[in-house]
Amino acid sequence: MTAVQSRAVSPRTAPTENPDELARLVVTCIDRPGVVARVSSFLAEHAANIVQSDQDTTGPSGGRFFLRIVFHLYDLAAQLPALEHAFAVEVARPLGADYSFRPVAARTRTAVFASRHDHCLLDLLWRTRRGELPIDVVQVVSNHPDLADDVRAFGVPFTHIPVGRGPQAKEDAERRQLELVRGCGTELVVLARYMQILSANFLHSVGAPVINIHHSFLPAFAGAGPYSRAKERGVKLIGATAHYATEDLDEGPIIEQDVVRVDHRATVAELTRRGADIERTVLARAVAWHCDDRVLVDGRTTVVF
């Protein structure tokens, strides 16, 4: 350990803010003693300096271990492949751990599905343009042509794939969607108020996580028409929920939720309008956190660092 120690105490001679030399490492495994030590020693031995780290263990015991580290490495682009290979052999394999390395500067190739509501979609496009979201929107897919001009004004491809009635039409549409999405190297699919249910087959085949925004504070008002049902029930707060889409509709792991206060004066239209503000905000947070590797799935729930 001598070498490690002497490196450790040497002052950081050239502190850097260079984001091109920052990367993230995420590790999940069965909890065991010494995992943090192994991972952090590995990084120290490879001259990677930990800038930020979060670690947690869930479950009553024998639970899951979750670790997210941001580290600095000189000449990251050149060094990362070797680091990754060494990590796989020296750390991940012995621990039986899942892991991923990702440069902080990398942008997530994202396909967005929408229908007619524009608020979530436009908000994602605008935040991306402002540099708030570390994504490239590589494709917008919609079952309606309405938003084509808005999307193209951002320089983003828009494809109208109508979804006909009946199972066959839906299957055909999904086939086209899958081709399109997989054809552009999509790393993330965002359902920005896409008003169609995607099949289990689609979710399995798309090869990327799918984030959905539901216009209620789940599990309240799961399913259709949440604002009408909220009005009927007379709730005093309405909300929105961003979650990973799974086969079980509205049951996927929740990433983020928020609510806004309403009163008896609010009509269903007003609830819809106020809810739209929450939907776009919650969805943007969920996408940002996902792309920042801060969201780790733990069974039916998430760890959000």
Catalytic residues, by residue number, are: 250
Q: Give min distance, CB of 77 to its own copies, in A.
A: 19
Q: Is 38 in the site for its own copies (CB under 8 A)?
A: yes
Q: Give min distance, CB of 189 to its own copies, in A.
A: 21
Cβ proximity of 65 and 59 under 8 Å: no
Q: Is 199 in the site for its own copies (CB under 8 A)?
A: no
Which residue lies nearer to its own copies by CB, 187 or 298?
Answer: 298
Near its own copies by CB under 8 A, which window of 106-114, 172-180, 203-211, 216-224? 216-224
Q: Is 204 in the site for its own copies (CB under 8 A)?
A: no
For 24: left if phi > 0, alpha if psi spans -120 to 50, otherwise beta; the answer is beta
Q: Which of 86, 161, 178, 304 binds its own copies (CB under 8 A)?
A: 304
Q: Which of 101, 151, 257, 275 binds its own copies (CB under 8 A)?
A: 257
Q: Give min distance, CB of 237 to its own copies, in A.
A: 5
Other CB atoms within a 10 A radius of the CB of residue 229 amount to 16
Q: Is 277 in the site for its own copies (CB under 8 A)?
A: yes
Binders in 89-148 for its own copies, by CB under 8 A: 94-95, 118-119, 122, 126, 130, 132
Helix then strand then coil, in percent of the chain rounded to 5, is 40, 30, 35
Q: List, as own/partner pairs, every contact residues 121-127 make where C-beta atoms lie below 8 angstroms and the sequence separation is at least 24, other chains included.
A: 121/147, 121/150, 121/151, 121/192, 121/193, 122/150, 123/280, 123/283, 123/284, 124/190, 124/192, 124/283, 124/284, 124/287, 125/151, 125/154, 125/156, 126/154, 127/284
Q: Which of 84, 136, 187, 258 binds its own copies (CB under 8 A)?
A: 258
Q: Is 12 in the site for its own copies (CB under 8 A)?
A: yes
Q: Give min distance, CB of 136 to its own copies, in A.
A: 18
Closest Cα to residue 211, out of 119, 82, 74, 111?
A: 111
Phi and psi angles of residue 296, each rounded to the nearest 5 degrees, phi first: -120, 125
Which residue lies nearer to its own copies by CB, 10 or 168?
Answer: 10
Chain centroid to CA 34: how far?
29
- Strand, coil or helix: 292: coil
Closest Cα to residue 52, out of 295, 294, 303?
A: 294
- Strand, coil or helix: 184: coil
Q: Give min distance, CB of 192 to its own copies, in A.
A: 14
Binders in 230-249 for its own copies, by CB under 8 A: 232-237, 239
Q: Which of 28, 49, 115, 186 binds its own copies (CB under 8 A)?
A: 49
Near its own copies by CB under 8 A, which window of 75-83, 160-168, 184-192, 257-265? 257-265
Beta strands (DSSP E) in 192-298 are 210-214, 237-244, 254-261, 295-298
Tell me the number of residues near its own copies by CB under 8 A.
81
